[in-house]
Amino acid sequence: AQKVTQAQTEISVVEKEDVTLDCVYETRDTTYYLFWYKQPPSGELVFLIRRNSFDEQNEISGRYSWNFQKSTSSFNFTITASQVVDSAVYFCALSEFIIQGAQKLVFGQGTRLTINP
């Protein structure tokens, strides 16, 4: 079975600091898909990024960047110059095949990030 581990339960930093959220995954698939979602205090789940295992190029989107390393089975997420609005629970997830035409997301336990002013 696939597994996603987010070892950092909670992180607290001061605004403008850089912060990295760790994600380690386990899978036997040679091709797989990783995701990050954000859950702000209001509770919804917001999609941030999808990464294919065959594309090892790192991704940057504004203050957000993602470092995918197949050799260490990690898909870490960095927020540069953090802001109070970044405070949320962040989930890393791996999509898992159920049957042809059906999949589910296997989520990590989440990292609660608090940005203090």
Residues that bind another protein (CB under 8 A): 32-33, 35, 37, 42-47, 50, 52, 91, 95-99, 101-105, 107-110
Q: Considering the complex, state which of residue 52 and residue 116 has its C-beta at the smaller distance from another protein.
A: 52
**116: helix, strand or coil:** strand
Query: What's the burial of 7, exposed, middle or buried (CB within 10 Å: 0-12/13-18/19+)?
Result: exposed
CB of 41 to another protein, least distance (A): 12
The whole-angstrom separation of Cα 2 and Cα 54 is 18
Q: Considering the complex, state which of residue 101 and residue 117 has its C-beta at the smaller distance from another protein.
A: 101
CB of 51 to another protein, least distance (A): 11
The whole-angstrom separation of Cα 1 and Cα 40 is 29
CB 41 within 8 A of CB 99: no
Q: Considering the complex, state which of residue 77 and residue 91 has its C-beta at the smaller distance from another protein.
A: 91
CB of 53 to another protein, least distance (A): 10
Q: Considering the complex, state which of residue 103 and residue 116 has its C-beta at the smaller distance from another protein.
A: 103
CB of 73 to another protein, least distance (A): 17
**85: helix, strand or coil:** helix
